[in-house]
Amino acid sequence: MKRLQKVIGVVLLSGSCLAAEPPSVGPGFADLAVLLAKGWFSSYVPQNASLAECAVFLNSQGICFDLFDLMDSSVPVTQEDFARVIGQAQLLLSGEAERTNGCIRRPLEAETWVDYCLLNDIPAASLWDGFLRRMGEGSLPEVTTFFNR
């Protein structure tokens, strides 16, 4: 996993990107990574951190983002993807995270990450609505800067 994190960091920091166009308005993995890192993990991630720095930090903590999803703005974040990221973050912050292949795994008591959030009173639905509202305003500056290199 450490090797994968280094590869992600090198690819993201090098400015080599598979998507030639900036992300379209809508929920994308790059925006989700930046919002999560600078929101829930603001004590560890500086507010001037780039998309690459946010993604590398989250992946190093077990909140896994696929490199191709980050790089392809046409891949939308689904509610299950969103619940996974929020659930993984909650498990990490609570100290209850267990990892498989470097990624925080879903506890067995839930069939899906949406179920996990519901069972644990994590307000994933309202957070999802907030994410959609924010993405309606357009991509974050860090994401736009990355894709416009």
pLDDT single digits (tens) 86-115: 999 999 999 999 999 999 999 999 999 999
5: left (phi over 0), alpha (psi -120 to 50) or beta: alpha
Q: Which domain holds residue 37?
A: 2-12+19-140
Q: Does residue 149 belong to any structural domain of this protein?
A: no
Q: Does residue 132 belong to any structural domain of this protein?
A: yes
Q: Does residue 147 belong to any structural domain of this protein?
A: no
Give the lowest-confidence range in 11-15, 70-74, 93-97, 138-142.
11-15
Q: Does residue 25 belong to any structural domain of this protein?
A: yes
Question: Which strand (E) or helix (H) includes residue 52?
Answer: helix 51-61
Count of structural domains within the chain:
1
Given a cut of 60, is residue 79 above it in pLDDT?
A: yes
Q: Does residue 84 belong to any structural domain of this protein?
A: yes
Q: Does residue 146 belong to any structural domain of this protein?
A: no
Q: Does residue 145 belong to any structural domain of this protein?
A: no
Given a cut of 90, is residue 62 above it in pLDDT?
A: yes
Q: Tokens 């004590």, residue?
A: 43
pLDDT at residue 10, rounded to an integer: 36
One-letter amino acid for residue 68 of the chain: F
Instruction: Give the other-Cβ count within 10 Å of 86's Cβ.
Output: 24
pLDDT at residue 26, rounded to an integer: 52
Q: Does residue 92 belong to any structural domain of this protein?
A: yes
